[in-house]
Structure 1
Amino acid sequence: MHEPPLKTLVVDDEPLATERLQLLLARIGGVDLVGTASDGESACRMAEALSPDLLLLDIAMPGMDGIDVARELGRSPQRPAVIFVTAFDQFAVSAFDVDAVDYLVKPVDPKRLERALERARAHIEWRSGVGAEEAAPPGQYLEEFWASDLSGLVRIRAIDIDRVSAERDYMRLHVGARSWLIHHSMAALEEGLDPATFVRLHRSAIVRRDFISGFQRNASGRWIARLADGAEQPVGRLYADCVREIAGR
């Protein structure tokens, strides 16, 4: 038995971006494109009239932006699922604050879009109670980041990040011997990263759990985390309970 197609509304103020999404959706299948909108106000009116299952929603638009649209539609009992599609990475944390199913950075990779649509379908089914007793809600955690370097933009998978360190208003993502700066807050990253995979050890540090090789106490009795690359990360007093939780004690 085939699943019903996702009734989808595409919202983007760039005609070429809208056209590209339409072409990608046609190739992937399983989607019923019910309309397109070029601004936030039109998107809200069309969503009310058409009751789509899903919005593929740009963020940076004149007037009412995509975050505002998602927040407005989120008040509706029949709120659609939202996948943000944007040229910028700095809105990712705000996107998940409004319960976005996924966050895609342009130019959209077809495989990545296909995976996002699968997540949207799972989210809609869970929200409507299909299998809700057996299944946990679909993941709402950040899967990737986009950071600038000399060659342009680099995609960094969350699962590849060894640790995150704070540098004033920026966070440094450490992946092996390389690192990149992104403009997010530590608190937002702590909320956005999967707690089953990452743990906050200090007000200025988040570490991937399997990157921690052990703990030891220093001369003053404070815990120090030993990391897989040989580095050491002090554990803040407010986060000392994490040592017992990780060690199972």
Structure 2
Amino acid sequence: MIKTAICDDETKTRAYLSALIQAQPYSCEIIEYASADDCLADGCGMDLLFLDIELGRSGSGQDGMALAQKIREQDLAAQPVIIFVTGYDQYVFDAFDVGAFQYLLKPVDEKKFAQVFARAAAQVSARKNAPQKVRTLTLRTGNENKVIPWDSIYYIESSNHKVVLHLKDGEFACYAKIRDLESELQEQFFRIHKGYLVNLSYVCGYSKSEVTLTNEEKLLLSKYKYQDFVKTYLRFLKKGMDL
């Protein structure tokens, strides 16, 4: 069963997308929302979300892009696959920033929809059935080894001859070199500044001078690292969408 949500302020569009979903050869539970507020308030644990970008400015006034950002900031066991459905094509690059799976233009072509839905369903299925491999970092402190899951680390900060790991449940400091950790963690972390090694999984936004994390912390982004960071981050998002 694929829990599928449609968030669009147009009744006719929701009905049309619902009909297209029902025509696919998959077992789906379909939930409809007319606003970003309704979708966030429900928290139905959706697997797949069809999301309009130009949502009506009711309630908090959030559009689809803001809603997607809010969803990505949530500490969910499994993030939904997001497919934007919109009448405008100028948001395509913004869609990458929130890890969108696909970008469909209205009016939605039935054949294109079926192709995209099949790929999205395959990703949902693979994610549900894949064994969960927990990657860990082992650090020496005193006479003991401390094992820390990668996903518990927001970022690592270099401080004198120590590193400070900023974790979901606090901080941990030990003697280590940040460049050594950068090499070990390069699949999921990026050195945005000489003093910061950031977990790309928790990046929710960036500018040319700073990176914003899902815990609302903002870290300095070196101007010399900016271009490489953007390329690495977009590759990281695309890799996640292709899993």
Q: TM-score, normalised by structure 2?
A: 0.49
